[in-house]
Amino acid sequence: MKFYSTNNKNLRINFEEAVFNSLPQDKGLYMPEYVPKLDPFFIKNIQNYSFQEIAFTIAKSFLQDDIPEQDLKKIINESVNFDAPVKFLSADTAVLELFHGPSYAFKDFGARFMSRIMGYFSKENDALLDVLVATSGDTGGAVALGFLGIAGTRVTILYPKGKVSKVQEEQLTTNGQNIRALEVEGTFDDCQALVKQAFNDPELQQKLRLTSANSINIARLIPQTFYYFWAYAQAKSQGIHEVVFTVPSGNFGNIGAGLLAYKMGLPVKHFVAGTNVNDTVPRFLTSGNYEPKSSTQTLSNAMDVGDPSNWVRILDLFDKNLDELKSIVTAYSYSDEQTKQAMDELYEKFNYIACPHTAIAYVASQDYKKDFPGEYASIFLSTAHACKFPDAIDEAVFSKIELPADAKNDQKKEKLATNLEVDYASFKSYLLS
Ligand SMILES: *Cc1c(COP(=O)(O)O)cnc(C)c1O
């Protein structure tokens, strides 16, 4: 399969190029030249397949011309090596837990698959692949743990000092091997600006084989479709046929993958996007005007995005047909106060401790149910383990969280981070040394 740019539909490049470029020169986003339709017989019987079998079937529908079957199977088995269980909280409300991977966030699905794809295509090439990533928390951990130990790659992560949580920092700084952490004396925006400048530096481009691992990479989008099919399979095995997915959204990559799954033939009744006060998409769906704004800091900080980078992909998927898009997606936005109430409600009603992003998905799923009642199961996506967000969660509740074993282990490891001032010359000499 070939890929085009949302800004140039005549472009046709292969998967390998799209993965390493990440962004087309014209600043659009890569999209598959067509949406592969899965065999209706497969979907009808999907409850008889394992998560890995489902993931392989999907990946093959995109990549059968680019990666031989046995190699693709190996990539899938290594990247989809943890579960994404659907847990029912009540008869009609369930949570799809996407935090059972190495960094306890859904970004593990994209990052693990992408790292193995990059490793696979790098084998014959001698130059070390230098992955640069700026993170406000979750992306860096997923990328670090995704690339950890992948031969031929080296990852440099920039994170703002004092602005990521303890568990997040441990995931960034306790790896060693091919992972390097830079603790930047500045903000996330400073980190992003340094990385951007490096990508635009002709000398670095010539001396290093640089690539970015950001969320718009097509190799992160494809694996995020896997768990929508797997969630549907789990619901179906419980006798449920109609599902509504609610997705906590920031850059809209996660829900974008869900909509791609829908276009591939996954039977979904509706998608609900939950955002914090960064409500560019909810406003767009109401007014039809896309008016991005600068982001506002909230409790659900992985969704503090004022101009969602994956939104053009969703528009492309729907040929900019706003009526069709609105017939399948509804969006709600919530304040921090409402987010806290939702966390409290989950805990009090179901004894469920959720991160603030997950809580927004929960309350959006309940509001949609009130607005559009019916005989369907509401499945809301839990995008991260609550232990990553201590500042957002009530202290007494947070103290009840059982830390995953790896997080306990990380606490015992030595912190390996290099301090960096917000100074491009120092960053550059670090990369070249
Ligand atoms: C990244 C992230 C999100 C937002 O996902 P998008 O694909 O950017 O919409 C939501 N929750 C958590 C915990 C995240 O890390």
Residue 161 makes CB contacts below 8 A (sequence gap 6+) with 183, 184, 185, 186, 419
Quick: pLDDT tens for 319-342.
999 999 999 999 999 999 999 999
CA separation for the pair 274, 359 (Å, rounded): 9
**pLDDT at position 165 over 70:** yes
**pLDDT at position 234 over 80:** yes
Return the structure tokens found at 314.
Answer: 């969703």
Q: What is the mean pLDDT of residues 295-320?
A: 94
**What's this model's pTM, rounded to 2 decimal places?**
0.96
CB atoms under 10 Å from CB of 351, counted, come to 9
Q: What is the mean pLDDT of residues 149-155?
A: 93
Pairing of strands 179-184, 8-14: unpaired
Distance (Å) from CA 354 to ligand 1 centroid: 14
Which numbered atom of ligand 1 lies nearest the CA of 252?
A: 9
- Domain extents for the chain? 76-104+221-403
Please identify every residue annotated as catalytic.
Answer: 107
Which numbered atom of ligand 1 lies nearest the CA of 388?
A: 13
Q: Which of 59-63, 196-200, 327-331 has the lowest mean pLDDT?
A: 196-200
Return the structure tokens found at 111.
Answer: 């990052």
User: DSSP H helical segments within 47-179, as ranges?
Assistant: 51-63, 69-79, 107-122, 138-147, 166-173
With the most atoms of ligand 1 within 8 angstroms of its CB, the residue from 100, 357, 358 to mutate is 357
CA separation for the pair 59, 34 (Å, rounded): 14
CA separation for the pair 384, 316 (Å, rounded): 28
Nearest CA to ligand 1 atom 8: 251
**pLDDT at position 172 over 70:** yes
3 state SS of 329? strand
**pLDDT at position 74 over 80:** yes
pLDDT at 407: 86
pLDDT at 212: 86
Nearest CA to ligand 1 atom 14: 302
Residue type for position 251: N
Say which CATH class 76-104+221-403 falls into.
Answer: alpha beta
The binding-site residues of ligand 1, defined as CB within 6 angstroms of any ligand atom, are: 105, 107, 138, 215, 248-254, 302-303, 357, 383-384
pLDDT at 125: 63
Distance (Å) from CA 17 to ligand 1 centroid: 26
**pLDDT at position 219 over 70:** yes
Q: What is the mean pLDDT of residues 61-74?
A: 98
pLDDT at 408: 87
CA 138 vs CA 26, 88, 106, 120, 142: distances in Å? 28, 26, 9, 24, 6
Residue located via tokens 């602005």: 163
* Whole-number CA gyration radius for the chain: 21
Which numbered atom of ligand 1 lies nearest the CA of 355?
A: 13
Distance (Å) from CA 367 to ligand 1 centroid: 20
Quick: pLDDT tens for 82-125.
999 999 999 999 999 999 999 999 999 999 999 999 999 987 66
Quick: pLDDT tens for 243-300.
999 999 999 999 999 999 999 999 999 999 999 999 999 999 999 999 999 989 999 9
3 state SS of 248? strand
Distance (Å) from CA 268 to ligand 1 centroid: 21
CA separation for the pair 208, 212 (Å, rounded): 12
**pLDDT at position 214 over 90:** no
CA nearest 139: which of 220, 260, 226? 220
Quick: pLDDT tens for 106-116.
999 999 999 99
Residue 432, φ and ψ in degrees, nearest 5: -85, -15
pLDDT at 320: 92
Angle at 66 between CA 64 and CA 70, to 5 degrees: 60
Return the structure tokens found at 218.
Answer: 């097509």
pLDDT at 92: 95
Residue 127, φ and ψ in degrees, nearest 5: -65, 140
**pLDDT at position 26 over 70:** yes
Which numbered atom of ligand 1 lies nearest the CA of 305?
A: 8
CA separation for the pair 130, 95 (Å, rounded): 37
Name the band, by pLDDT with cuts 50, 70 and 90, for residue 144. Answer: very high
**pLDDT at position 62 over 90:** yes
Return the structure tokens found at 420.
Answer: 């960096």
pLDDT more than 70, % of the chain: 99
Indicate the average pLDDT of the chain. 95
